[in-house]
Structure 1
């Protein structure tokens, strides 16, 4: 009787068929929801990061959740849909010019830089040095550099070809964000309940830690990047730099990757001096100094709110997310790595650090001598 009971408990075919059925159901569910995964993940990150703002808006709107959800959805449209639509229209209008320049059909020729002669003391010397460089093969340097710049511009344009899919994910993000704002407490309770069932108290702590990491990336990385890129884009537009919208998007990518906006602003300043517009070049130079150092003011304030993340982690998340998921990966990549990093760090901290082990190799004085 006891042997039959054990055989019923450890019925291997039943266990295998159960696992196979569960696996098939998981794969089928993943297959069905696959088109919505990225949009839902993006919406979850946005809602988690902006949930305190939604609660404040709800208090201001007489405690009406519907009004708060409507206001937050309109705010998301203002932050995401309008800039993307402006970017798409700008790309469509200037695609032919950018492609012709990137392919090398329009040669990049250095200017004469005659305005250098107006500089006191060193102007004439700089002017003669510049023309000596051109006469000794400086034009060839420009000709060699342009193909690499052209390859980069062509790759960026090829990424813009996926703008339709990005717009679809953006629309899904708005829809899912509205639903999550409206039922946020119930969804959070369901996720925490599932985590408790899966890993008990440790699972619940992991969910809370993941939410803090998502908010940390949103505050410490995305907000800083948006502020710097918008201010830098305003400076580019006012100073008369061509394609300011495209350059603002590129500046936003550099800020997300923790490289800063100066990689775009410094070439723009050089171009203005190059073309002889020294007044606007000087103004943009001063403005760039302000924008370039703004993160030193914003980021310490956000670090106190839990945004202290390694720079290399964010850089890998931005680049890897862009290559893996396209433009939407700019937001998903850093969050995935940040959550994984925080969970791994918390798991490792559950065990104390190992003691420093001294070198057990014997010293020359401790070696045994051969008996005489």
Structure 2
């Protein structure tokens, strides 16, 4: 029986694929301004979803009241610290900006050099000799660079408006996701099943677990260490404690810890003669610096049962590759890839535990070949 095959319509296939590509690009182009805000909201909602469910149970099963409480929490966590940071930066940078833009810049005399033991007087004399001999010439060469640097910092202020826009979008999308989170999650799982059946569904669930693990284990730990370190700095009398607390949080996010900020503060307190508060801050820094060794593993296990090395590698690599949003993208990609790899490998039988038997099996055909030839 002869089967007549239907000829393949190659132009139709190419035009269909081209049309789909054009539609996808057009959709991405339209929603591009909202992607970062939606991704930010998605990570926040996934990480805090268990808290929303608990609040809903406490508030007589009312989802609206739980969403309202969660929005207040998000405003306190994101908007209020940012407002305090901007206020601190503006107050502390005012004298510097005035000095850089006044046009009467002169090199400082650095009187504090005299307090350095043994070499202080010599350093002070050498510096002031340099200032008196060529200080003005040095400032004439440095002033253009200072002006350029000041202009760059002023230009970065435009990014504050963009950040505020994304923050507002994050709050708006968070409300929508909190309100219809189950439907959105089911839609994503349905789409993943359409692409890769049960493995696609498992990949979506694993991605959510990885996001929750990073949010609990890395972000919460960084916030706790940064806030506790900032409290220690403020109590010890260190100036600009709010700004330094934010620096500590960023340092903890990139896995450097709070000590790069706390150690110079301790040295400064001892150097200024305030040994009492220096000792207090030293003890407090030991507690804050070692807190992540206890808190982070516990929180990560609460989010997902993933290897610690996998999470930390994803956090650092993701931040290097994608910036702050890579803090969540990196671990998600590594976690999903690791699980897919594990499932794929587990489909094959386990190797023989005795490697000598494997070698014997490989050598058997070679020994049988001469007898077969005979």
One of 304, 329, 332 as aligned partner of 1:339: 332
One of 175, 180, 183 as aligned partner of 1:178: 175
Instruction: Check whether the contact 1:309–1:338 (CA below 8 A) recurs between aligned residues.
Output: no
Instruction: Check whether the contact 1:256–1:318 (CA below 8 A) recurs between aligned residues.
Output: no
User: Where does residue 118 of structure 1 map in the other structure?
Assistant: none
Cα deviation, residue 92, structure 1:
2.2
User: Where does residue 351 of structure 1 map in the other structure?
Assistant: 345
Instruction: Check whether the contact 2:113–2:123 (CA below 8 A) recurs between aligned residues.
Output: no
TM-score (structure 2 length as normaliser): 0.78
User: Where does residue 363 of structure 1 map in the other structure?
Assistant: none
Tell me, yes or no, if structure 1 residue 278 matches structure 2 residue 272: no
User: Where does residue 34 of structure 2 map in the other structure?
Assistant: 36
One of 188, 191, 194 as aligned partner of 1:191: 188
User: Where does residue 309 of structure 1 map in the other structure?
Assistant: 308
CA distance in 1, matches of 2:279, 2:111: 21
CA distance in 1, matches of 2:218, 2:180: 27
User: Where does residue 133 of structure 2 map in the other structure?
Assistant: none
User: Where does residue 318 of structure 1 map in the other structure?
Assistant: 319
Cα deviation, residue 265, structure 1:
0.8
For structure 1, the 5+ residue unaligned runs are 115-126, 141-146, 323-329, 359-372
Please say which structure displays the higher CA radius of gyration.
2
Cα deviation, residue 253, structure 1:
0.5
Indicate the larger mover: 341-350 or 215-224.
341-350
User: Where does residue 9 of structure 2 map in the other structure?
Assistant: 11
CA distance in 2, matches of 1:170, 1:108: 44
For structure 2, the 5+ residue unaligned runs are 130-141, 360-374
Matches within 5 A, 1:1-372: 3=4, 6-7=6-7, 10-98=8-96, 107=108, 109=110, 111=112, 128-129=117-118, 131=120, 134=123, 161-305=158-302, 306=304, 308-310=307-309, 311-322=312-323, 330=324, 332-349=325-342, 350-351=344-345
Cα deviation, residue 112, structure 1:
5.6
Cα distance, 1:242–1:263 mapped onto 2, change above 3 Å: same
Cα deviation, residue 167, structure 1:
1.1
Cα distance, 1:108–1:255 mapped onto 2, change above 3 Å: farther
- 1:261-308 CA-to-partner distances (Å, cap 9, x unmatched) read 011111111222233333222221121111111112212322432364
User: Where does residue 367 of structure 2 map in the other structure?
Assistant: none
Computed over aligned residues only, the root mean square deviation of the Cα atoms, in angstroms, reads 3.4
**Secondary structure of 1:236's partner?**
helix
